[in-house]
Structure 1
Amino acid sequence: TRPDSGGLLCEADLFRARDRFVHSEHTTWAHEWHIPLPNGLSLLLFGYENRAIGDLIDDLAQTTTEAVTIYLPEGRLLTSAREHLRYPELMAGDQFQRGTVTLHVLPFLPQAQFDRLLWLCDILFVRGEDSLVRALWAGKPFIWQIYPTDDQAHWEKLDALLDTCRGDLPAPAFDAWRTLTHDWNRQRLAPESWQNFIEHHAILASAAEKNRLTLAGQTELSNWLVKTAYERLQCRTN
Structure 2
Amino acid sequence: MNTHVNADPAELAKFSDLAHRWWDPESEFRPLHQINPLRLNWIDGLVSLSGKNVLDVGCGGGILSDSMARKGAVVTGIDLSVKALRVAQLHALEAETSNVTYREASAEAIALELPGSFDVVTCMEMLEHVPDPASVVKACSDLVKPGGWVFFSTINRNPKSFLFAIIGAEYVLQLLPKGTHEYAKMIRPSELAGFCRSSGLELSEARGMEYNPLTRRYWLSQETSVNYMFATRKP
**TMscore range, shorter length:** 0.3 to 0.5
Between Structure 1 and Structure 2, the one with more strand by share is 2
Length-normalised TM-score, structure 1: 0.38
Query: Which structure has the larger Rg over C-alpha atoms?
Result: 1
